[in-house]
Amino acid sequence: MSRIIMITGATSGFGKAMAFRFATAGYDLIITGRRNDRLELLQKEISSKYNNAVYTLCYDVRDREASFLAVNSLPEEWRKINVLINNAGLAAGRDYFEEASLDDWDLMIDTNVKGLLYTTKAVLPFMMAASDSGGPGGHIINIGSTAGKEVYEKGNTYCATKHAVNALSQAMRIDLLRHQMKVTAIHPGAAETEFSLVRLKGDTSLAAKVYEGYKPLSEEDVAEVAFYCTSLPAHVCINDLVLTSTSQANSYYLNKTT
């Protein structure tokens, strides 16, 4: 039987690249996001190209009730989820603390922290049932950020949400130890996806500037690393992994040529 992976935020960026990477490895996929047209397109593309089964769940991770309804609507044969990747997330705005918008702060906290909690809590009973009945333990991968390791200017609440993802990953690893679950936090540095376009409210030229003068990570780089984390022997868990392009040392230091 194929292994099942659930990837939140698969309509773009890392999530979409991870869907392709895990599909090539033979996984059946549960892909989620709010944009149903993109989910359906991805479902068609992957199932015709790789012959994998793909199930879509369209819901907003901020909505507690919708998250549980969506996960609990999974048919029996889709409930044995081996890997959950909590990837859905965003930054909204890049402003000094005193100038930042409260709505942006709510949006980031609700998506990056509460959204991750709701989906994990909804999926966990399925993953625990498999491992508690003697099957292989499940694996949760949380997508954090270098912003969850160092706080930078105008990063205030986005950085705080990613610090929370860092803390929650440690907490999950401790509390889920007795259920033989692996918990991995992956913290990428700058990567060119729709991330900056979303953060800068659709300003394409400002978003492009973020990646000028150096080579950032690609979404495929992050997908490859996530796949690697799942490819190790059953007794080996990568707990915490930071990756950046070779042009970046951490949140502060970028080697830009222009």
**Binding interface with ligand NDP (CB under 6 A):** 9-15, 33-35, 60-62, 87-90, 111, 115, 143, 145, 188, 190-191, 193-195, 198
Q: Applying CB under 6 A, does 86 fall inside the site for ligand 8X3?
A: no
Q: What is the C-alpha separation between 20 and 27, in angstroms, rounded?
A: 10
146 near ligand 8X3 (CB under 6 A): yes
Q: Is 166 in the site for ligand 8X3 (CB under 6 A)?
A: no
95 secondary structure, DSSP code? -
Nearest in space to 176 (alpha carbons), one of 240, 117, 131, 233: 131
Shortest distance (Å) from residue 123 CB to ligand 8X3: 23
Q: How far is residue 65's CA from residue 224's CA, in Å, rounded to a whole number?
A: 33
Q: Which is nearer to ligand 8X3, 11 or 156 (CB)?
A: 156
Residue 209 touches which of ligand 8X3, ligand NDP, none (Cβ within 5-8 Å per kind): none
Beta strands 28-33 and 182-188 are unpaired
Q: Is 214 noted as a catalytic residue in this protein?
A: no
> How many CB atoms sit inside 10 A of residue 221's CB?
17
Site for ligand 8X3 in 188-227 (CB under 6 A): 190, 195
The entry of ligand 8X3, ligand NDP, none that residue 14 binds, CB within 5 to 8 Å by partner kind: ligand NDP
- Asked if 251 interacts with ligand 8X3 (CB under 6 A), we say yes
Partner interacting with residue 251 (select from ligand 8X3, ligand NDP, none; CB below 5-8 Å by kind): ligand 8X3
Distance in angstroms (rounded) separating the CA atoms of residues 111 and 61? 6
Q: Which residue number places its CB atom closest to ligand 8X3? A: 145
Contact 87, 18 (CB under 8 A): yes
Distances (CA, A) of 101 to 108, 116, 147, 158, 214: 11, 22, 19, 12, 30
Residues that bind ligand 8X3 (CB under 6 A): 145-147, 155, 190, 195, 251
Catalytic sites, residue numbers: 158
